[in-house]
């Protein structure tokens, strides 16, 4: 390596430690090892892979392995992550979801394309995932929805209406009566590429009569499914602003779609000592622990509300001897004011993971709204 190249590499390295350059410009991952010398940003290896898909506007190189010439270094120096953020993220709507390094590919890719390719956030308005028309606050379109009983995905018309705070879907595109009317403020939406075995798979979980239900949908176009996801967030945000006029933006944002805290299999037994253990798929959405026979079931078989330690909830590791019908032995007990639930995990590590999220949830004091949800659970059982 020539002395000049050596010096150039050092300069790039020094630049990568300046200000916002220490975190990936697109997902926030620390210590990015790649840079785009046409956009002037430092990015992580995963986001770099996405930049390669938009090579007409972004040319990427490794900080350590590639050759850097003088002009490219100068360009990076004059731009950098902070300046790029100010330019390309100038008008990101408050409700728009900014993916992190743990988010799935479609969310990250569409974020990067929205920023640099469509330059969606450089202007003050545009296709930001808000409902199609600002005046009517309505988004309408076709999504493939998984059939409840046969598991087949079929085209369904979906209509999101901000004004009355609902998401509806119709079996036929010209049908007058919707098959379901979903209250927008009860929705959580999460991308589930692995579970649904589709890169654009979106799970819409909502609560009806205090029971969790799921719709599994996708659209073949990544931009469209992410647009639906952000439209749901936009509609929820605007709806809650009106419904809870005293709540601040931060509180409202915390209630918009969030990733589940944890999902996976455990075994569960009933309230009687003679009840059999059954393997179930568990989903923890903040204080709501739902369990299913199959990960893609439309309805939860049951739900456990996780309150707080101060209000009589306890989580403990338990040894469960293999004398019942359990196959797994790594037990967890959750005590609520009404009942103790017993679960078993496949491995020690898995139990540790579940225990740590359960403990974290019950360590947080309950809000007024959560007391109301707890009361509904009590009323139900
Ligand atoms: Zn990244």
Both 143 and 81 in one domain: the answer is: no
Return phi, psi of residue 324, to 5°. Answer: -95, -145
Are 89 and 31 in the same domain?
A: yes
Tell me the CA–centroid distance for residue 46 and ligand 1, in Å: 6
371 and 271 inside one domain:
yes
CA 29 – ligand 1 centroid, Å: 5
Domain boundary among 117, 148, 180: 117
Any domain includes 159:
yes
Q: With 0-12 CB in 10 A as exposed, 13-18 as middle and 19+ as buried, what is 126?
A: middle
Question: Within this chain, do residues 108 and 152 fall inside the same structural domain, yes or no?
Answer: no
CATH number for position 228: 2.30.29.30
The predicted model scores a pTM of 0.91
Q: How far apart are the CA of 24 and the centre of ligand 1, in A?
A: 5
* pLDDT value at residue 381: 53
Ligand 1 centroid to Cα of residue 223, in Å, is 19
User: Do 155 and 59 belong to one domain?
Assistant: no
User: Are 268 and 366 in a shared domain?
Assistant: yes
| Cα diameter, the chain | 77
Dist. CA 5 → ligand 1 center (Å) = 26
Q: How far is the CA of 34 from the centre of ligand 1 (A)?
A: 10
Q: Is the residue at 254 inside a domain?
A: no
Asked if residue 267 and residue 161 are part of one domain, the reply reads no
Query: Measuring CA to CA, how many Å separate 111 from each of 2, 55, 86, 94, 117?
Result: 39, 16, 15, 14, 10
295 and 200 in a single domain? The answer is no
pLDDT of residue 130: 56
Q: What is the mean pLDDT of each run of 10 residues along the chain (381 residues)?
A: 73 89 97 96 97 96 90 93 96 94 96 96 65 67 94 96 93 91 94 96 93 96 96 93 89 88 95 87 96 96 95 92 82 93 95 98 93 84 53
User: Is residue 54 a part of any domain in this protein?
Assistant: yes
Residues 31 and 111 in one domain: yes
Distance between Cα 283 and ligand 1 center (Å):
27
**Spacing, Cα 79 to ligand 1 middle (Å):** 18
Cβ 296 vs Cβ 146: under 8 Å: yes
**Ligand 1 centroid distance, CA of 77 (Å):** 19
User: How far is ligand 1, taken at its centre, from the CA of residue 14, in Å?
Assistant: 19
What is the whole-number distance in angstroms between the Cα of residue 48 and the centre of ligand 1? Answer: 7
Alpha-carbon distance of 189 to 182, in angstroms, equals 13
Q: Which of 197, 213, 247 is the last residue of a domain?
A: 247
Q: What is the pLDDT of residue 378?
A: 78
How far is the centre of ligand 1, averaged over its atoms, from the C-alpha of 43 (Å)?
A: 5
106 CA → ligand 1 middle, Å: 13
Distance 82 CA to ligand 1 centre (A): 15
142 and 235 in a single domain? The answer is yes
Which residue is listed with tokens 């999101």?
A: 160
Q: Is 110 a member of any domain?
A: yes
CATH of residue 44: 1.10.220.150
> Could you tell me the distance, in angstroms and rounded to a whole number, from the CA of residue 13 to the centre of ligand 1?
17
Domain containing 179 equals 131-247
- Domain assignment present for residue 256? The answer is no
On whether residue 255 sits in a domain, the answer given is no
- Domain endpoint, select from 117, 139, 158: 117
Q: Per the domain annotation, does 55 fall within a domain?
A: yes
Is residue 312 domain-shared with residue 373, that is, in the same domain? yes
Residues 197 and 147 in one domain: yes
What pLDDT is stored for residue 274 in this prediction? Answer: 81
Return the structure tokens found at 12.
């790039």
Cα 200 to ligand 1 centroid, rounded to whole Å: 19
Residue 350 lies in a domain: yes
Separation of CA 311 from chain center = 29
Ligand 1 center to 111 CA (angstroms): 11
- The strand pair at 330-335 and 340-345 is best described as antiparallel
Q: Give distance in angstroms: CA of 114 to centre of ligand 1.
A: 15
- Total domains in the chain come to 3
CA of 94 to the centre of ligand 1 (A): 21
Q: What is the Å distance from ligand 1's center to 260 Cα?
A: 21
């Amino acid at each position: 390596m020539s002395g000049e190249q050596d010096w150039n590499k050092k300069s790039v390295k020094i630049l990568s430690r300046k200000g916002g350059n220490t975190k990936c410009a697109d997902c926030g991952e620390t210590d990015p090892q790649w840079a785009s010398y046409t956009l002037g940003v430092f990015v992580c290896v995963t986001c770099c892979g996405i930049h390669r898909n938009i090579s007409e506007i972004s040319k990427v190189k490794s900080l350590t392995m590639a050759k850097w010439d003088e002009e490219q270094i100068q360009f990076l120096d004059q731009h950098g992550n902070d300046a790029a953020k100010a330019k390309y993220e100038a008008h990101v709507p408050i409700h728009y979801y900014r993916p992190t390094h743990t988010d799935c590919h479609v969310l990250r890719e569409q974020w990067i394309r929205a920023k640099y390719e469509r330059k969606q956030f450089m202007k003050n308005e545009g296709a930001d995932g808000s409902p199609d028309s600002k005046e009517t606050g309505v988004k309408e379109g076709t999504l493939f929805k998984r059939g409840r009983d046969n598991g087949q995905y079929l085209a369904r018309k979906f209509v999101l209406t901000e004004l009355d705070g609902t998401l509806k879907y119709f079996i036929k595109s010209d049908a007058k009566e919707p098959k379901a009317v979903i209250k927008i403020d009860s929705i959580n939406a999460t991308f589930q590429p692995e579970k649904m075995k589709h890169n654009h798979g979106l799970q819409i979980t909502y609560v009806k009569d205090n029971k969790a239900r799921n719709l599994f949908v996708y659209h073949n176009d990544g931009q469209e499914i992410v647009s639906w996801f952000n439209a749901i967030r936009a509609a929820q945000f605007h709806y809650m602003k009106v419904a809870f006029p005293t709540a601040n933006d931060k509180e409202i944002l915390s209630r918009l779609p969030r990733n589940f805290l944890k999902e996976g299999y455990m075994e569960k037994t009933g309230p009687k000592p003679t009840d059999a253990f059954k393997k179930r798929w568990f989903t923890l959405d903040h204080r709501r622990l739902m369990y299913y026979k199959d990960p893609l079931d439309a309805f939860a078989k049951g739900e456990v509300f996780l309150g707080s330690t101060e209000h009589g909830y306890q989580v403990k590791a338990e040894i469960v001897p293999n004398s019942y019908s359990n196959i797994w032995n790594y037990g967890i007990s959750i005590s609520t004011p009404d009942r103790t639930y017993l679960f078993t995990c496949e491995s020690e590590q898995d139990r540790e993971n579940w225990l740590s999220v359960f403990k974290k949830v019950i360590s947080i004091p309950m809000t007024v709204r959560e007391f109301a949800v707890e009361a509904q659970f009590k009323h139900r059982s």
